């Protein structure tokens, strides 16, 4: 099992979309390396014959009648948003190139 380098933590933080300061990166790299080493012991008993479980109780798919029901009030949702305009969320530009 590989250990978690500072560069690797920076790469994964990028995937998770979390900006980290250099000081945070230094600290997290050390801490995560210790944690990963500790949790990696799960592979000791996870042999191929053991099936994986994703959920505590067995479940089948759940349906409801195909009947429209009221949704949460749009104005109340937008009132709690960082920015809204014309009844929609107002978000930053999606693409990175110059406008």
Partner 1 sequence: MSDLTRLSAAALAERLRSGEVSSVEATRAHLDRIAAVDGAVHAFLHVSDEDALATAADIDARRAAGEELHLLAGVPIAVKDVVVTKGVPTTAGSRILEGWLPPYDATLVGRIKAAGLPILGKTNMDEFAMGSSTEHSAYGNTHNPWDLTRIPGGSGGGSAAAVAAYEAPLAIGTDTGGSIRQPAAVTGSVGVKPTYGSVSRYGLIALASSLDQAGPVTRTVLDSALLHELIGGHDPLDSTSIAEPLPDLVGAARLGANRDLSGVRVGVITELQGEGYQPGVLARFHESLELLQRAGAQVVEVSCPHFTYALAAYYLILPAEASSNLAKFDGMRFGLRVEPSEGPVTAERVMGATRGQGFGDEVKRRIILGTYALSAGYYDAYYGSAQKVRTLIQRDFAAAFEQADVLVSPTAPTTAFKLGEKLDDPLAMYLNDVATIPANLAGVPGLSLPSGLSDDGLPAGFQVLAPAKADDRLYRVGAALEALLEDEWGGPLLAQAPELEVAR
Please say whether the beta carbons of 9 and 29 come within 8 A.
Answer: yes
Q: Please report how close the Cβ of residue 87 comes to partner 1 at its closest, in angstroms.
A: 14
Distance, CA of 35 to CA of 18 (rounded, Å): 19
> How far is 27 from 33, CA to CA, in rounded Å?
10
Binding residue for partner 1, selected from 22, 66, 79, 87, defined by CB under 8 A: 79
For partner 1, the binding residues (CB under 8 A) are: 1, 4, 8-9, 12-21, 24, 28, 31-32, 34-36, 38-47, 50-57, 59, 62, 64, 72-73, 76-77, 79-83, 89, 91-96, 98
């Amino acid at each position: 099992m590989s250990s978690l380098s500072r560069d690797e933590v920076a790469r994964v933080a990028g995937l998770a979309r979390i900006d980290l300061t250099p000081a945070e990166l230094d600290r997290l790299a050390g801490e995560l390396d210790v944690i990963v080493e500790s949790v990696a012991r799960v592979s000791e008993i996870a042999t191929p014959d053991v099936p994986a479980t994703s959920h505590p109780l067995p479940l089948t798919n759940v349906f409801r009648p195909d009947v429209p029901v009221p949704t949460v009030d749009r104005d109340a949702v937008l009132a709690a948003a960082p920015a809204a305009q014309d009844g929609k969320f107002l978000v930053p530009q999606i693409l990175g190139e110059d406008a």
